[in-house]
Chain A
Amino acid sequence: MMRIIIALLSGALFGGGLAISGMADPMRVRAFLDLFGAWDPTLAFVMGGAMIPMALAWMVQRRVSRPFADRAFALPDTRAIDGKLALGAIVFGIGWGIGGLCPGPAIASLALSPAAAAPFVLAMLGGMAIHHFTIKS
């Protein structure tokens, strides 16, 4: 139960941060990607702001033996920079540019602009399902 509450709190803080930062506005995100239009650097401040607590958290993580509410750290240990990583990232960037939405803001927007966000989120889950049933991991 404790873990569920922590995850819910983390998700809510994450979603609140997305809303405050303007990242729940697809046009603001797309304006960051629009180098030849009216470029809006806000996204860089969001990323920069997020780096501060996380850089500290990684320093703490290296010094503790386990997380405070679970038995062990379960972190990605893949090192390979392969075709899947590269192609997946490039494909994701195309969709990000077209829609101005990535998964976090899209899901957070379900509560803010449900009629607009729902088609994106449903299609995104569909894309995830296509990957799940076609690509061997």
Chain B
Amino acid sequence: MIAGFPDAQPIAGLIGGLMIGLAAAIMLLGLGRIAGVSGLAARAIGLSASGPPRGVAIAFTVGLPVGAVLVALLSDGIPATFPAPGLLIVAGLIVGFGTRLGSGCTSGHGVCGLSRLSRRSIVATALFMGSGFATVALMRLTGMI
């Protein structure tokens, strides 16, 4: 617990982050690929001509829920609260289109690109973080949340 931020989970966050970084390191050093979820998911369902063989993309994408459910089974469950379905559909459409247009998301640009010190990824991460902050600020301003 951090003083002033009662909801923060710094230790769990750090441990989960190390696992995510290790997973991305395995993709990089094992298969020579970026562990970018938006690109791999698009490749897995046949919406991308570039990227690893489809089997690799499908295996990584399927691995995500498998790992999550293993953690849930080994712990007391994973708490999660979701916005209303209508908002989720709008958000999903926007995220799908934006991540493909911008060639990456939090994993490809954020985790892999930032650690590579890629200028493209630094710019992309700053922009999607900035627009995320602005969007939530606007939702708060307009009483949506």
Identify the A interface with B (CB < 8 A).
3-28, 30-31, 33-58, 60-61, 64, 66-70, 72-76, 78-81, 84-104, 106-113, 116-117, 119-132, 135
Contact = CB atoms under 8 A, between A and B. Distances in A.
B92 to A, nearest CB: 3
Nearest to B89: A123
Contacts of A69: 30-31
Query: Which 6 residue pairs are nearest across A and B when measured between Cβ atoms?
Result: A11-B63, A49-B17, A88-B102, A21-B16, A127-B96, A99-B91
Contact of B94 (A70, A85, A98): A98
B137 to A, nearest CB: 6
Interface of B: 2, 5, 7-10, 12-35, 37-38, 41-42, 45, 47-48, 52-53, 55-57, 59-72, 75, 78-83, 85, 87-103, 105-107, 109-112, 114-116, 118-120, 123-125, 127-137, 139-140, 145
Given A38-B7, A54-B111, A24 B68 contact: yes
B102 A92 contact: yes
B96 A18 contact: no
A125 B96 contact: yes
Contacts of A88: 97-103, 124
Given A41-B2, A124-B92, A35 B133 contact: yes
Interface class of chain B by DSSP: helix
A88 B16 CA distance: 27
B61 to A, nearest CB: 6
Contacts of B21: 49-54, 57
Nearest to A37: B140
Contacts of A21: 9, 12-13, 15-17, 19-20
Contacts of B87: 98-99
- Looking at A64, A68, A76, A135, which has the most chain B CB atoms within 10 Å of its CB? A76
Contacts of A58: 28, 115-116
26 contacts: A6-B27, A8-B66, A14-B23, A14-B67, A16-B16, A16-B19, A17-B17, A20-B19, A20-B71, A58-B115, A67-B31, A69-B30, A88-B99, A88-B100, A88-B102, A97-B134, A98-B83, A98-B139, A102-B107, A119-B85, A120-B91, A123-B88, A125-B41, A126-B92, A127-B92, A130-B93
B56 A81 contact: no
Nearest to B33: A74
Given A8-B63, A91-B98, A13 B136 contact: no
Contact of B67 (A17, A40, A78, A116): A17
